[in-house]
Amino acid sequence: MDILLKNGYVVDAANDFEGVADILVDKGRIVKCAPGITEPADKVVDCTGKTIIPGICDMHVHFRDPGQTHKEDIITGCEAAVAGGVTAVACMPNTVPVVDNAETVKYIIEKAKGAKARVYPIGCITKGQNGEELCNYNELKAAGCVAVSDDGKPVLNARLLARAMVKAHYAGLRVISHCEDPQVIAGGIMNSGEVSKELGVKGMHRISEDISTAREIVIAGDLEMPIHIAHVSTSTSMLLVRLGARYGAMVTSETAPHYFMLTDEKLRLRDADYRMNPPLRTEDDVTAITEGVCDGTIDCIVTDHAPHAPEEKADFEKAPNGVVGLETSLAATLTALYHRGKITLKRIVRLMCVNPRKILGIAGGNFGEGEPADITVFDINEEWIVDPEKLHSKSKNTCFKGMKLKGRVKMTIVDGKIVYEDK
């Protein structure tokens, strides 16, 4: 046997197990998860006092590879992933060129063979992300895509989106929708409200997100086809997802830690590391998103890991949107939700490990016999301060810089191999 993890506090939500147990791993697979395993192993790791969950699957990251590898590439993106306890990522297709053909998908899959985490490409909904002509979903699926999205750009034509939802469904791919109305945004750079007014910068009105979320859910409900709503950030969108799911639309959704931790007050610093799209909103939104995450209306916590180089982020108003997040997502979630008594560990495991894989059709996310041996071990009480310079990502644009977080990844195992250790 290859590895035996001894006496960790195991949280295996999919198998409804939580308690002290051992995990035996061999040839990249889980052999057994039970208390008191005595079989010998090449490596025995004492996990007393540590928490063990199935490896995190982050279904929304931007790795900039091909085309903008000065920001991040697949190898460094995966270094950042495993340092954050993330063993699988789904990469958004807004690379250069965009992922709208089998050849680019194959490039990503080939390069990912040398990476520390599992990489699942997401293809475009439309060719060139132009919102005009649908991609060939059977071709994208056959090449290895797990979903389609025009992330960063919404599909404005509702008829085309409806056709995409039907065709993607029959190809076995979920449509992930970036909900935004660019005519409402009209050049805005942060949430439209008191703070944008005081700063004298153009705001992005919240209805941009809300009307698109409503449209997506109405279409999904009418077609009886699934839709996944990316990065929910407003209280109204949260309510729409809640109503949609309640009334039978096949809607799943995600949010990112910054939407339940930070508000647009941060923008007073005039620092582009607090700018992303959708933008940080208000206290009411943070409350609504927190409720949705904790009561299970939101299905997944993702990062929207969006690396940008320091020189690109230097100018507050001209900088591109996006923040890195892979190395802080678990710690941020534990700090904001678990340590404040708002959420259980089992719910966190569903949000970060189980549901993303279910939505994308990826194996794993639990410690059943024969499952892939992708494992995250962390110290739930260790405190640390986020230092951008210590991140493994090529880019340092974290909106959690300087914050004290409680919970630290100690070891990450992918395919039965230890790929990260915090020493």
The residue ranges that bind ligand DOR (CB under 6 A) are 62, 94, 151-152, 178, 276-277, 304, 306, 320-322
CB of 299 to ligand DOR, least distance (A): 19
Question: Least distance to ligand DOR from the beta carbon of 18, Å?
Answer: 35
Which of 73, 150, 151, 371 forms a contact with Zn ion (CB under 5 A)?
A: 151
CA distance 356 to 60: 10
Instruction: Please report which residue ranges of 277-354 form alpha helices under DSSP H.
Output: 283-294, 310-313, 329-333, 345-349
Residue 101 interacts with which of Zn ion, ligand DOR, none, CB < 5 to 8 Å by class? none
CB atoms within 10 A of CB 2: 18
CB of 376 to ligand DOR, least distance (A): 25
How many angstroms separate the first and last alpha carbons of the chain? 24
Question: To the nearest whole angstrom, how small is the minimum distance from the Cβ of residue 305 to Zn ion?
Answer: 8
Nearest to 279 by CA among 259, 260, 261: 259
Q: Which is nearer to ligand DOR, 254 or 371 (CB)?
A: 254
Least Å from the CB of residue 209 to ligand DOR = 11
Window contacting Zn ion (CB under 5 A); options: 66-74, 147-155, 167-175, 344-352: 147-155
Nearer of residues 2 and 273 to ligand DOR, judged by Cβ: 273
Name the residue with the smallest CB distance to ligand DOR.
322
Choices 82-90, 149-157, 234-242, 249-257; region in contact with Zn ion by CB under 5 A: 149-157
Nearer to Zn ion, 209 or 304 (CB): 304
Least distance from C-beta 93 to Zn ion, angstroms?
A: 10
Q: For residues 321 and 311, what is the distance between their CA atoms, to the nearest angstrom?
A: 13
304 catalytically annotated: yes
Q: Pick one of Zn ion, ligand DOR, none as the site partner of residue 236 (Cβ within 5 to 8 A by kind).
A: none
Q: Which is nearer to ligand DOR, 216 or 304 (CB)?
A: 304
Q: How far is CA 205 from CA 185, 186, 209, in A?
A: 6, 9, 8
Nearer to Zn ion, 151 or 273 (CB): 151
CB of 50 to ligand DOR, least distance (A): 33
Q: Pinpoint the alpha helices (H) of 123-179.
A: 137-143, 158-170
Burial class of residue 380 (count of CB atoms within 10 Å of its CB; 0-12, 13-18, 19+): middle
Strand 227-229 with 17-26, pairing: unpaired
Is residue 12 part of the contact set for Zn ion (CB under 5 A)?
no
Length of the chain: 423
DSSP 178-200: ----HHHHTT--EE-SHHHHHHT
What, of ligand DOR, Zn ion, none, does residue 277 touch, CB below 5 to 8 Å by kind? ligand DOR
C-alpha span between 264 and 188 (Å, rounded) = 14
What's the order of all strands across the beta sheet hosting 147-149? 56-61, 86-91, 118-123, 147-149, 174-177, 227-229, 251-255, 300-301
Let me know if 369 is exposed, middle or buried by CB neighbors in 10 A (0-12, 13-18, 19+): exposed
Token pair 């582009």 is found at 272
Residue 22 contact, options Zn ion, ligand DOR, none, Cβ 5-8 Å cut-off depending on partner type: none
Q: Which of residues 21 and 319 has its CB atom nearest to ligand DOR in the complex?
A: 319
- d(C-alpha 144, C-alpha 122), whole Å: 9
With CB under 5 to 8 Å by kind, the binding choice for 280 among ligand DOR, Zn ion, none is: none
- How many residues sit in the footprint of Zn ion (CB under 5 A)? 2
Minimum gap (Å) between residue 75 Cβ and ligand DOR: 19
Task: Indicate the residue among 60 and 167 with the shorter CB distance to Zn ion.
Answer: 60
DSSP line for 222-252:
HHT--EEE-S--SHHHHHHHHHHHHTT--EE
150, 181, 304, 374: which one is catalytic? 304
Tell which positions 290-319 bind Zn ion, by CB under 5 A: 304
Amino acid in position 24: L
In this complex, which beta carbon is closest to ligand DOR, that of residue 174 or of residue 178? Answer: 178
Task: Report which of 256, 290, 258 is spatially closest to residue 274, judged by C-alpha positions.
Answer: 258
Residues at the site binding Zn ion, with contacts judged by CB under 5 A = 151, 304
- Please list the active-site residues: 304
